Structure 1
Amino acid sequence: MSRSLVLLSLLCCLPLAGGLRCYACLFPAISPMDCLKFPQECPAGQLCLSSTAESTRGAIGIKIYEKSCTVTTQCGLSGQKYTAGYNFNYSNVCCNTDLCNAALPVAAPTWRGAVLCLLPPLYLLLV
């Protein structure tokens, strides 16, 4: 068994060891549109955040969506904040897998990459 082949097989696992990747909004979005989001790598110890803020004034209802990386103390928070002349009720939800704060569930499970990465070294051990 070639050491360089084993090393090359194990190198495929390196991207899995990076920090958590989350969507972040370029700008907060007003319902029914989702924000213009892009993936970013979070600092160590942070989670993915999806935040929703709702306000009603008379017949006008506004719902704002935000996505980002956040510290754990922001997870599960809800309350009120005042901005742009409106009182908003907000709630924060956190998750801890890559790109888990998308509007729609991520199609491919994140464990799939780990399984595919481990197949070459396992094959080499069996041969």
Structure 2
Amino acid sequence: MTVLPDNATPPEPTVRPEPNTKLGQLLALHDQLKAAAKHAENMFEACKAAIKAEATAAAPGARAVVVDSPDLAEPLRVFYSPRKRCNTKKMAAERPDVFAVYQAYQEETPSWTVKAVQR
């Protein structure tokens, strides 16, 4: 029997389901669907980027443009939306006191992720 130190994380179990089980069937689809989804996502992002470029070129200087077409289920609004984020590396370096408060207010939220690992 292997005894782990108190602070050690036990090894992750590896599950290898039979092909005819629900999990086995889902795993058989995983890579195919992932590739198709990635391709669709890339195409969609490229389409959105092109729509943004064309719409803003069609209305120079406008901060919002509505584009419509019979091919769309509903019109699209293309608009400028600045984003802000907290530069925590800079905060930690320049204001460690503020960074400590920032860290104190962080909360961990539960989340499960499916990610490929090497065999």
TM-score higher than 0.5: no
Give the TM-score taking structure 2 as reference length. 0.22
More helix by share: 2
TM-score (norm 1): 0.21
Structure scoring higher RCO (CA < 8 A, sep ≥ 6) equals 1
